[in-house]
Structure 1
Amino acid sequence: MSISLIEDATLHPLVLPARADAADADEFRELTRVRNEVYRELTGRTEQDLTPEALLPLLRSRRERSTVAWIVRVSGEMVGRAVVDIPHEEGSKVSNASIELHPRAWGRGIGTAILPHLEAVVREHGRTVIQDWTEQQASDGARLEARTGFGSVPDDHVARFLRRHGFTLEQVYRVSRLDLTAGARALAASLFEEAEAHAPGYRVRQWMAPTPPEHRDGYAWLKSRMSTDAPSADLEADEEAWDADRLIAGEARLAEMGQTYQVTVAQHLETGALAAFTELGIGPDRTGTTHQHDTLVLKEHRGHRLGQLVKCAALLSWIDVAPESTDIITYNAEENRPMLAINEAMGFTAIAYEGAWKKDLS
């Protein structure tokens, strides 16, 4: 059932098809096209494009979270979407929500009309906090500083909308790119040797997803620590419960999405425990952009250049895994200076910034 917003704008619950190529999947395929167009308009880049086959698994509810999504139409034309994710972690009071509209639909009050519907879903699930991660267009105008004191975003239409509706800018992420040239490989090799000399009690292990059974528990533990050990400012960060079953399910989604996914870890020789990790992935188009996903060094193993060790080892082997990929994109909190210093040494350069926003409904 559609919901009337303002004038000719309407909100429609998204019904996911069983498959992206099913007979009833036309609306979903159109949603994918519009979603990609919105991201291109917002970022000026294409590396966040997804196929319908890749988007579908991301929107399905799963053991660890429920997803509610809507399609936004103006005079029948699809112009965007709205999404609410409800994590199932024990004791969670947070939800993640976003309104993604094509800029041609901005300025009419559509987002303002949508927001109460998202907040109603959040409250129905007993949550009191909404968080949103939004990348904004580059701008030479006024800037808005994060509450952390590290980084800023343009004080533009997006920022004004969020602030007007009670959101605060808690954290800024730097979006960085590395061009995969011969020089990048030579630099990574040099930095790897340097890191290896500072980490005599560790060795590098690597695998392509799915994770070998003997490493599932250790890798799942690293993933759970990502939610507690990575910088999160004053955002609500649930302690995520990862186990082998959740890991297996997640890697099955990657396979369904057509992702090629590599995990690189540093293993502590004395105990056999996994101490650090990084992930690289690319979609079916091997000429596209590679994404560096989670990277973490456990607190108790810091001080041995393990971040540099795993990131350089990952890059060196990835060039052979996806030789036609021309660049790597990664996101890091601006206050995470140790990781940003590694990126800068490897040749990553900042290309954009993403704001992490929070609204307290209590």
Structure 2
Amino acid sequence: MSIPLTDEASLHPLVLPARADAADAGEFRELARVRNAVYRELTGRTEQDLTPEALLPLLRSRKERTTVVWAVRVGDEMVGRAVVDIPHEEGSRVAIASIEIHPRVWGRGIGTAALPHLEAVAREYGRTVIQNWTEQPASDAPRREARTGFGSVPDDHVARFLTRHGFTLEQVYRVSRLEVTASTLDRARALHEEARSWSTDYRVLQWMLPTPSEHVDGYAWLKSRMSTDAPSGDLETDEESWDAERLIDGEKRIEEMGQTMQVTVAQHIPTGELTAFTELGIGPDLTATTHQHDTLVLVEHRGHRLGQLVKCAALLSWGDVAPESREVITYNAEENRPMLSINEAMGFTAIAYEGAWKKELT
């Protein structure tokens, strides 16, 4: 049943189809098209585009989270979507929510009318905090500083909307791009050799998904530490529980999305422990943009240039996977100076910023 928002707009609960090409998947396929159009309008870029086949696995509820999806319509036209994720980590207070509407219908009160429905879902699941990650378009507007003291975003329509509705800007992520050229690869080789001289007790291991059975437990442990060891400011961060089942299910989802992913890790030779990792991934088009996903060095193994080691090793071998992909995009917290320094040394440059926002529900 649709939910009236304004005289012209309404919210439509979306039942996900079994397959993106199913007979009843028309509304979902339109949602995927509109999602891509909204992201292109906001960022001016296309690397966040997802086919319906790739988007569907991301929106399905699963063991570790429940996802609720609505289509936003003005009259009969779909103009955006709203999504609430409810993590199932023990003791979680958090719901992750977003309202993504095409800018040409901003200013009509649609987002303001939709937000209470997202908050109602959060309360239904007993959550007291809503968090949101939004990349904002480049702007000459005055800046709004993050509460971490690192980074800022434009104080534009998006920031004013979130602030007006009780959100605070907790953290800023830098979106960085690397153009893959002979020069950047030469630089990566030099940085890789430098890192090796600092990390003589470590070796680099690499694999394409699925993860070999002998590394599943170690890699799952590294993934779990992303929630505790990566900078998060004053955001509510659930300690995620990763085991072999969760890792294998996640890798099946990546395969279903048509993604190719390489994992590069540093292994501590004396103990055999996996101590650092980075992931490079790309969609079905191997000429498109490569994404650097999670990267982490365990706290107790920092100081050995392991982040530099795995990131350079990953880039240097990626040409064997997607030789025609000529750029890499990555996201890092502005206060994560060690990782940003590695990126800058490799030749990454900032192209945009993403705000991490939080609202305490009363």
State if a TM-score over 0.5 links the two structures. Answer: yes
Of 318-327 and 77-86, more deviation after overlay is shown by 318-327
Cα root mean square deviation, aligned? 0.4
- Equivalent residue, structure 1, for 2:226: 226
- Equivalent residue, structure 1, for 2:121: 121
- Equivalent residue, structure 1, for 2:161: 161
- Equivalent residue, structure 1, for 2:358: 358
- Equivalent residue, structure 1, for 2:341: 341
- Equivalent residue, structure 1, for 2:178: 178
- Equivalent residue, structure 2, for 1:235: 235
- Equivalent residue, structure 1, for 2:20: 20
Structure 2 CA distance, aligned partners of 1:15 and 1:285? 28
- Per the TM alignment, residue 217 of structure 1 is displaced from its structure 2 partner at its CA by 0.2
- Tell me the percent identity: 80
Letter in 1 for 2:303: G
- Equivalent residue, structure 2, for 1:58: 58
Q: Which runs of 5+ in 1 are unaligned?
A: none
Query: What's the TM-score once normalised by structure 1's chain length?
Result: 1.00
Aligned partner of residue 79 in structure 2, secondary structure: strand
Matches within 5 A, 1:1-362: 1-362=1-362
Letter in 2 for 1:347: G
Structure 2 CA distance, aligned partners of 1:136 and 1:254? 27
Structure 1 CA distance, aligned partners of 2:244 and 2:180? 33
Aligned partner of residue 320 in structure 2, secondary structure: helix
Structure 2 CA distance, aligned partners of 1:14 and 1:277? 36
Structure 2 CA distance, aligned partners of 1:280 and 1:4? 42
Letter in 1 for 2:79: V
Q: How many residues align?
A: 362
1:263-285 per-position Cα deviation (integer Å, ceiling 9, x unaligned) = 00000001000000000000001
Aligned partner of residue 178 in structure 2, secondary structure: strand
Structure 2 CA distance, aligned partners of 1:180 and 1:62? 36
Structure 2 CA distance, aligned partners of 1:139 and 1:76? 32
- Per the TM alignment, residue 75 of structure 1 is displaced from its structure 2 partner at its CA by 1.0
Structure 1 CA distance, aligned partners of 2:214 and 2:194? 29
Structure 1 residue ranges (4+ consecutive) displaced by more than 2 angstroms after TM superposition: none
Letter in 2 for 1:358: K
Structure 2 CA distance, aligned partners of 1:65 and 1:213? 25
- Per the TM alignment, residue 320 of structure 1 is displaced from its structure 2 partner at its CA by 1.5
Aligned partner of residue 286 in structure 1, secondary structure: coil
Structure 2 CA distance, aligned partners of 1:219 and 1:155? 39
1:283-340 per-position Cα deviation (integer Å, ceiling 9, x unaligned) = 0011100000000000000000000000000000001110010100000000000000
Aligned partner of residue 249 in structure 2, secondary structure: helix
Letter in 2 for 1:226: M
Structure 2 CA distance, aligned partners of 1:26 and 1:288? 26
